[in-house]
Structure 1
């Protein structure tokens, strides 16, 4: 199995097509050559996720985290934990990823989303702000920032953040609906 970009794309295509058993088989061939290939472990985890086998997916993400010190497996594992509503664990995993690369805005955005679900708006606000300080083109971080600004009753700033998010994301029903909510709350 090719361990280059084509090989990874091939495995991704198998997962997308629902042929997760073949995807796992292909990944296992990659892992025979390089058992520390974090990209292969991430793909194996994604295949397990597609099968609904979250325990195996978490195990594969753990194996990916043992690789060459990239933050991606931490982000992916935290996103799965978040979907599983294991919020405290997700925060710990994101913090581990941030130790590797505190300059990646997607980690800060993901942490903000988890902290929002933990009803920690001040901490979430800080995370969305850090994501945007690193890259202000993250439209969904602007949306997260807007939601946290509503918690803080900073409605003018929340509305401006909604407008920025809409500019970057484009026409999105949930974002437009939230903007209307903020506008109504601001009006009275």
Structure 2
């Protein structure tokens, strides 16, 4: 084995261990010894992209393609990176440049579909996904990507079924070691709703506990993130709420259900969403304790603000605002007292006319108690939107143009998940929030003018 090959194998071990910095060092050293090694360029590009240096990563990906034009994975990696960087057109050009044999590969078809969705060409994307599945019916990634298109378009009959291809449920199945509910009869059975995805997903889909109870379940439990336990104490249909960080008694349950599978089992359509609001309630003692923080003049509207989501979410850069300053035009609207519900990244920006409530928030039950005392919540697409909706509190949600989440459907200003209380404000251009904020400011001025003095 040559020294360059030894460095390459060491770098691969670093990549497998998630140590991208060490991998980059080893790969650069390997390139110094063998500058025309396509695999080294491709792996260095991967490591650079993982570290955020996408410009350098693109250079090395393109060099790898020039040196080894028949290596499909390099086209896939470069195209996926470009799509994630909102360069869908460039990604499509990369896929077009792949060799002829690769054009019918399910992986390339699925990746091409993702770029087409990002470019707003969902009909073409759907055709790519369906072609990939025709070639490989078990290709879960294409089925999952197709699910997002179908659900966003309101074609839920097939959409929920395709969503079953998601691959993140295995760890929960291993942890619970219970049979997974298949939608069959529940009479007399004890069913546990397991943890899935984020806090917002749990708040949105645990509404189905009431449906489970109505279907005859003898007992309905919810396993959830610790921060949701107190809040879910008010969840209709739930008999027991258990935090994920504590052991549970497996013998107490017959089956478990994944929250995002419940719409499939109950055959939910856009016209049949279980949306009897509110299905969560604030704790009265907490509301009374926190009420003094919400002091305002009698003629002022009390409005809560959230401008950033969890940075670990894959589309957070698109859904979150650059900062609280982006909301500055709203603060010019007369007759409003502003309160920050922002927790975590961005909470230190709560100043200049905005009351910071973050120090009073320890869990979602605290947030619910505060929201109960407000007139309106204005938020980006985060768990706080679902919490306000579940409480039946008026909520305005700011949505990005770039891959707005499927649950908000397409081209709607309302949502069947939270009818009559939620209004959606959508970006017209990718990354341009000023237009959205002006829309909200005008709507807010109209709302404030209609309040009695």
Q: Distance in 2 between matches of 1:46 and 1:142?
A: 25
Superposed CA offset, 1:112-148 (max 9, x none)? 1121122211111011112212222221211222232
Whether 1:68 aligns to 2:68 is: yes
Kindly tell me: are residues 127 and 47 of structure 1, through their superposed partners in 2, closer, same or farther at Cα, counting changes over 3 Å? Answer: same
Q: Give per-residue Cα distances to partners, 1:3-43, cap 9 Å, x unaligned.
A: 3xx754421333445352x4334324443554332211111
Measured at CA, do residues 134 and 121 of structure 1 come closer, stay the same or move farther in structure 2, by a change above 3 Å? same
Task: Give the equivalent residue in structure 1 for 2:78.
Answer: 77
Which of 169, 184, 188 is equivalent to 2:268? 184
C-alpha separation between the residues in 1 aligned to 2:53 and 2:139? 31
Shift of 1:185: 2.4
Counterpart position of 2:14:
14
For 1:171, which of 150, 154, 169 is the aligned residue?
169
| RMSD value, Cα | 2.9
Name the CA distance, whole Å, in 2 between partners of 1:67 and 1:100.
18
Cα deviation digits, residues 52-91 of structure 1 (max 9, x gap): 2111111001101112221221111111111211111111
Which residue number in structure 2 is paired with residue 147 of structure 1? 148
CA positional deviation for 1:177: 5.6
2:107 matched residue in structure 1: 106
What is the rounded CA distance, in whole Å, between the counterparts of 2:111 and 2:56 in structure 1? 22
Contact 1:36 1:68 in 2 (8 A): no
Q: Partners of 1:33 and 1:143 in 2: how far apart?
A: 42
Moved more, 132-141 or 28-37: 28-37
> How many residues of Structure 1 are paired with residues of Structure 2 in the alignment?
182
Distance (Å, rounded) in 2 between the aligned partners of 1:61 and 1:177: 39
The structure richer in helix per residue is 1
Q: Is the 8 A contact 1:45 1:57 kept in 2?
A: yes
| Residues 143-169 of structure 1: CA deviation (Å, up to 9, x unaligned) | 222232345554333233234x15xx3
Structure 2 gap ranges (5+): 171-195, 202-257, 273-453
Instruction: Compute the TM-score of the two structures, normalised by the length of structure 2.
Output: 0.36
Distance 1:17 1:153 in 2: 38
8 A contact 1:112–1:127 mirrored in 2:
yes
Q: 1:91 to 1:19 in 2, by over 3 A?
A: closer
Find the aligned partners of 1:19 and 1:141 in 2 and give their Cα distance: 28
From the superposition, tell whether residues 178 and 98 of structure 1 become closer, same or farther in structure 2 (CA, over 3 Å).
Answer: farther
Cα 1:157/1:7, change in 2 over 3 Å: same
Single out whichever of 114-123 and 91-100 deviates more from structure 2.
91-100
* Matches of 1:30 and 1:9, distance apart in 2: 10
Cα separation, partners in 2 of 1:170 and 1:58, compared to 1, 3 Å:
closer
Q: Which residue of 2 aligns with 1:122?
A: 123
- Name the stretch that deviates more: 149-158 or 104-113: 149-158
- From the CA coordinates, give the structure whose radius of gyration is larger: 2
SS of 1:185 mapped into structure 2: coil
**Contact persistence 1:75–1:97 (CA under 8 A):** no
